[in-house]
Amino acid sequence: MRGIQKVFGGTILMAVALGLVLIPERASSRSVDTSWQEANAEAVPAFHNSVPAGQLPATMGPSLFSDPVAQNAYSIAARIKKILYQEPCYCHCDRSQGHGSLLDCFVSKHAAVCGICEREDFYAYEQSHKGKTGAQIREGIEHGDWQGVDITKYESPLPAK
């Protein structure tokens, strides 16, 4: 009888010990997942919800740049300033350069050396031609849809409009 109690007691003790070992590991793995989610839930960069009543600043002229992609990006930016004013820029130039929206990247030379700005510009252009609003385009930018833009389409001069 005593031997059965020892085996039974030992089994219970092993089960409790195993439980204590596994519970912190599961709790720890849950907290790792939460940390990852928090780390990737970055704040949306600066943008404006709507277009101002007054005029928007002029973008830099495409002829100032020798790279055809930059020329096309600035040419397009001049056409869709109202849209770009409502979009964030995920190169985070709002932090490093004080930009208030994607439009500010094209008011300066910044976009000519930033593939993120150019891709977001091309994405906004393509989506605006599909009838999307500034808010709908912003939602796509926030989801990273701009990363799928085929930049090779913009390596040759665009037709004048």
Chain segment 140-149, per-residue pLDDT in tens: 999 999 999 9
Rounded Cα gap, residues 161 and 144, in angstroms: 28
What's the mean pLDDT when you consider all of the chain? 82
**24 pLDDT exceeds 50?**
no
Query: 92: alpha, beta or left, given left = phi > 0 and alpha = psi -120 to 50?
Result: left
**Out of 16-25, 55-64, 95-104, least confident range:** 16-25
CA distance 81 to 75: 10
Asked whether 102 and 89 are in contact (CB, 8 A), the reply is yes
Measured distance CA(108)–CA(122) in Å, rounded: 17
User: Residue 69 and residue 5: Cα distance in Å, rounded?
Assistant: 80
- State the pLDDT at residue 6: 60
